[in-house]
Structure 1
Amino acid sequence: MTAYAIAHLRPAAPHPEVFEYIERIQPTLDPFGGRFLVHDAEVEVTEGSWPGFVVVIAFPDLARARGWYESPVYREILPLRTRHNDADVVLVAGVPDGYDPAVTAAKLRAAAATG
């Protein structure tokens, strides 16, 4: 099941180390099947506030997303970004093929009725 690394990066002053991080990240993703879905795109806020940028990287599964984030090669370049950008980063599994939100609603409704 596809998994995602999602980052919310807050605005920061441009820095050469961040440019280097961006230049070096793709080779860290390749062994884990990671690919950018969203990167350097303008955010259109429709509810609430969202100061900054969003990055979404897809992986074949959560194990490979975790493997990438914990890999020595990624950990080597990570400080190039974290020294200069505040961010929230999460790894999350996607829904399976054929996912039906009505089934989830029914489970939540049943749990609320008994809890």
Structure 2
Amino acid sequence: MHFNRIFDSDGKGWEGFPSRSYARLDQVEPANLKQADEAVFALDAIDAAWTEFGHGNAFDLNIPAAIASNISDVWKQLFGPRPQRPINIPFDRMPVYRIEVTSRRGDLF
């Protein structure tokens, strides 16, 4: 199994990469793993310490219902019956990272 340098065992990792993040699996290649000898798993990650996750911000993690409402408002401002420009789009400031892990058939992963 091969990890990118984010996971270096020397503890230094990738300079600037957050020490804690939220991630989701975004992509797997190849799409059909039955015949593959190697696969790549790609995850999109976001810094868990991002200020917008804090109290009173657009993505306040303590109030999940408010997040849905805030995001809905953004989409309505962008694409509703009367689009508004310019608007404050919280996604523009989002610290997103991509993590790719390559694994060969038989690896412990």
- Using the size of structure 2 for normalisation, the TM-score is 0.29
Q: Select the structure that is richer in helix.
A: 1
Q: Select the structure that is richer in strand.
A: 2
* Greater RCO (CA < 8 Å, at least 6 residues apart): 1
- Using the size of structure 1 for normalisation, the TM-score is 0.28
